[in-house]
Amino acid sequence: MKHLSRISLIALIVCISTTFIYSEMSADQIKNAYYKSYTYEKMGNYDDAIKAIKLIYKSFPDGYTVNYRLGYLYNVNQNYSNAISHFKSAISASMYSIEPKLGLMLVQMTKGDYQAAEELGHQVLSTDYYNYYANLRLSYVLRMEKKQDLAEKVVLKMLSLYPIDIYFLLEYGLLKMNSHDYELAYMIFSDILILDPENVTANEMLLKINDYSKEFKKTK
């Protein structure tokens, strides 16, 4: 795998170098286009951020960086079909790269295509088993698919590495809510509030548990 990764990296560098040689854009023009794009993005002007990068895309339609950048921008601009297209192009440009797979996974999650998102998550984990974002997103996707046991395995695996990570603790608490283990859920959400006192989800879940407890007492 290391040998393949080295070959892949060399091929990517050669591809980038060759593209620069035959490009009609100078290095300064490319740098300026990216600078404009990031500036527009900071202003929340995603349309112009995309337009600035499109100038580069015309010269580098198969480039990794420009397609990844466009995938990201189209996603935050809620143009999901274009985001998917560019993330896939970035994956084609560098098949071992994790970044565009994570980006594409996020788009599929936003669209509610959890099966496609799950497949991407497993692809990333086959390369990087403890990847933080892939595991976090996969745990969410599995919970949405009602695959409770699989989701919990992912969460517990990551909590063994990040015991006080709020996002994995939230996923764990929400899984326990789904399985009606309110006692453990209460403990988890209470612990989260020690780490993050204003956490909205934890506070909401604790209120729900208290309401469930009151209703249970009424029925007794």
- The whole-angstrom distance between residue 52's C-alpha and the CA centroid of its chain comes to 24
In a domain, 204, yes or no: yes
For the chain, state the CA radius of gyration.
22
**pLDDT(126) > 70:** yes
Interior angle at CA 12, CA 10 and CA 13, nearest 5: 65
Q: Assess if residue 63 is contained within a domain.
A: no
Q: Tell me how far apart the alpha carbons of residues 55 and 53 are, in angstroms, rounded to a whole number.
A: 5
Residue keyed to tokens 């951020």: 49
> Which tops the pLDDT comparison, 3 or 24?
24
Number of domains in the chain: 1
What burial class does residue 77 get, using C-beta atoms within 10 Å of its C-beta: 0-12 exposed, 13-18 middle, 19+ buried? Answer: middle
Residue 202 token pair = 């934890």
User: Residues 191, 206: contact at Cβ < 8 Å?
Assistant: no
**Residue 10: its pLDDT value, please?**
39
175, part of any domain: yes
Q: 217 is in which domain, residue-wise?
A: 164-220
CB 53 within 8 A of CB 34: yes
Average of pLDDT values for 43-62?
A: 95
Task: Tell whether 91 is covered by a domain.
Answer: no
The residue assigned the tokens 């527009």 is 40
pLDDT of residue 217: 57
**Pairwise CA distance, residues 188 & 14, whole Å:** 50
Q: Does residue 137 belong to any structural domain of this protein?
A: no
In a domain, 199, yes or no: yes
Distance CA 25, CA 203 (A): 53
Please indicate, yes or no, if residue 177 is contained in any of the structural domains. yes
Q: For residue 175, is pLDDT > 70?
A: yes
Task: Compute the average pLDDT of residues 184-191.
Answer: 97
Of residues 141 and 17, the one with the higher pLDDT is 141
Helices (H) and strands (E) in the chain, counts: 12, 0
Q: Are 85 and 92 in contact (CB under 8 A)?
A: no
Residue 137: closest CA among 178, 103, 163 = 103
Say which amino acid occupies 168: F
Give the mean pLDDT of 81-85: 98
Q: What is the pLDDT of residue 23?
A: 53
Which segment of 14-18, 76-80, 104-108, 118-122 scores lowest on mean pLDDT? 14-18
Residue 27 lies in a domain: no
Contact by Cβ (8 Å): 70, 55: no
